[in-house]
Structure 1
Amino acid sequence: MSEDQTPSVPPEPLLQMIANLARFHGEHEQFYAQAPLRQASDLQACSRALKALAGRWSTTGAGAPAGNPFAGAEDLNAPGLVAESGILFMEGEGEPVELQRLRRDVREAAEDSEQTGIWLAAAMEQAWEAAGLLADYPALADLLGERHRIVANDWQAAGLLALVAQLLRRSLDLLDRVTFSPAALRADLESERNAPAYLFSASEILDRAADLLAESATLVRDNERRWRVFGARVRRLRSD
């Protein structure tokens, strides 16, 4: 082999680095093949709560306030929702603390999705360039499709996470259109009934965000076998 000729097998330092990436990034992706599913489940629970309230407010009439400020608002509480979500409208209170917590959780989920998406997109830009350099080594030629598929899956997942963040923030924008005090809600029930419409739309946007989180988990999970095959080849080359 001439001095200017690239060897078939990557040098040991490069093989060691590739082995490290295959191990730790493969393990990292095992987490991100599951975490979005848990987030999607949480968002679906939020969506169900909003739909339950919207359904109740679409059909019930405005009731008279009870004399006790700690009494539950019969006309505003959805059947079964208090036990499931803790959201309880009381006569002497404003927006239920559980509903405030729901909105806070959605806001935090938006921030987490955005940050993860930004980091992952930047990482995949570098990974794409690094994967192209492996084409210099024929010993890895048959696995280049697998390596690029890993990058493509993760890059696509990053884009989905960015979109999830936008959807979650838009759902919050719609919820901000509603004043969740008993007095304001009863006034709406007696007029245009705008609150149910905003809640239904916000819940539908949450549903789509949950769907996209599940898609991102599917993309990342698709990489598991590819990392395993890639890592096995590198270990064999190092042992040889």
Structure 2
Amino acid sequence: MQTERDQLLLTVRNLARFHREHEKFYSESPFHDVIRLQRNSRALKALAERWSVVAPSGETSLSPFAGASDLNDDRATETLGILFMEGGGEPAEITNLKRDLSALGEANRAIGQWLASAMSAAWDMLEALLSYPELADLLAERHRIVSNDWQCASTAELIARNLDRAVAILGRVDFTPAALRADLTAHRVVPRYLFSASEMLDYAADLAAHSAVLTHENERRWRIFHERVDQMVGAADTPGGNEIRPEGR
């Protein structure tokens, strides 16, 4: 019959095994978001740079599908497919960009809230390990894992806030050709909005990269902690293994 001690060690071993594997994924996946956000940022900067200096076109076209020579930038078209057409409104790629950024922000918010709750529970549970002398030298390592993950939770929520605000900034821009040309002949406010939005995406990308680094730092800590708990469980399963027990029991 398993004792409370046995059950705790088995639970601790289970967490060390499966969450270590889980974090291997999260030490890599944020970099996919980093690349995605940086590409989006580059496209917005390309448009902002062009619209900061280009003169509005007075050309007319027989086709509503003709590209707007003054508004389009090859870098933005090549990177995200953004194409302004003479007879069109807001390019579909701009609409999709805002939608995708909103979805990514919401995903980060959900992850951050879940992870913060999980790490709060984990921190409380780890107090029980203080009574195991066999883990005395690894207590800081195991708590550091939780601390890093807690930082990742806060980082995810901060990413969400930056993405939400970038979308709100983009929402201040009328991306129809007529409105953009009116801005080109007036105060050129639109490029400034785009620079700000792109810089918020840059910061969100930096935060995502930092989150991946924090998670990757946990790998060695998970490995040595899991090995130690494995040894303790193995010792408890062998004759004479009862000498491995928490203090006071």
The one-letter code of the counterpart of 1:185 is L
Deviation of residue 31 (structure 1)? 1.0
Moved over 3 A (4+): none
| Other-structure match for 1:34 | 28
| Other-structure match for 1:220 | 215
- Measured against aligned partners, the alpha-carbon deviations of 1:168-191 in whole angstroms (never above 9, x if no partner) come to 011111101100000000000000
Corresponding residue to 1:143 among 138, 146, 150:
138
Indicate whether 1:90 and 2:85 are aligned: yes
Deviation of residue 104 (structure 1)? 1.0
Percent identity of equivalent pairs:
52
Deviation of residue 140 (structure 1)? 1.0
| Other-structure match for 2:148 | 153
CA distance in 2, matches of 1:132, 1:221: 24
TM-score calculated relative to the size of structure 1: 0.94
RMSD: 1.0
Corresponding residue to 2:62 among 58, 67, 90:
67
Deviation of residue 133 (structure 1)? 1.5
List gaps (5 residues or longer) in structure 2.
236-249
| Other-structure match for 1:7 | none
The one-letter code of the counterpart of 2:26 is Y
Indicate whether 1:177 and 2:172 are aligned: yes
TM-score calculated relative to the size of structure 2: 0.91
Indicate whether 1:187 and 2:182 are aligned: yes
CA distance in 1, matches of 2:233, 2:117: 29
| Other-structure match for 2:50 | 56
Secondary structure of the residue aligned to 2:219 is: helix
| Other-structure match for 1:15 | 9
- Measured against aligned partners, the alpha-carbon deviations of 1:61-84 in whole angstroms (never above 9, x if no partner) come to 100242310000000001232222
The one-letter code of the counterpart of 2:184 is L
CA distance in 1, matches of 2:115, 2:142: 16
Secondary structure of the residue aligned to 1:66 is: coil
Corresponding residue to 1:167 among 151, 162, 165:
162
- Measured against aligned partners, the alpha-carbon deviations of 1:13-64 in whole angstroms (never above 9, x if no partner) come to 2111111100111111111111111111101110001000001101101002
Q: Please, which moves more after superposition, 98-107 or 60-69?
A: 60-69
| Other-structure match for 1:101 | 96
| Other-structure match for 2:115 | 120
- Measured against aligned partners, the alpha-carbon deviations of 1:203-240 in whole angstroms (never above 9, x if no partner) come to 00100010001111111111011011110001111122
List gaps (5 residues or longer) in structure 1.
1-9
Secondary structure of the residue aligned to 1:180 is: coil
Number of aligned residue pairs: give it.
231
